[in-house]
Amino acid sequence: MMAQFPGVGDTLPPATLTAPDGSPLDLSHYAGRKLVLFFYPKDDTPGCTTENIDFSALADDFAQASTALLGISKDPPAKHLKFIAKHGLTAPLASDAASAGLSDALGIWTEKSMYGRSYMGMVRSTYLIGADGRIARVWSPVKVKGHAAEVLTAAQAL
């Protein structure tokens, strides 16, 4: 039997992530607000850098749409700090390094394969959460080009 992961209409499982400064970041902090969670594989890789720069460039537009942003990977907080500083990112980041964390609960931390080698990795995915706490839209897997703008349009319409 396949595991059932949260989808459109469901609420997110409770989760505490780690902010770049090492402090805990509980998703309940965003209760009552629209929220975009964009999960990406790894800091400072080409696609992930482009995605983070694109969301950062639109951060003010998301704020005008009353929508919070949060980029999430399994990278440790110290790596996030370097990534933010290197690229001038303004979209907040968080680490989901705990085993059985949020990305595991959503089914997007999964076994991948490259060059015949299997490894665990993040499926690039984005979740738009409504102010009611329910998942309004899911993009998975994500193609980076134009994605942040598409998510902004969906957030504005929500």
CB 73 within 8 A of CB 45: no
DSSP, res 1: -
Q: What is the 3-state secondary structure (H, E, C) of 62-104?
A: HHHCCEEEEEEECCCHHHHHHHHHHHCCCCCEEECCCCCCHHH
CB 39 within 8 A of CB 124: yes
Tell me if residue 143 is catalytic.
no
3-class SS of residue 60: helix
Catalytic residue among 48, 68, 84, 155: 48
- Indicate which residues carry an active-site annotation: 48
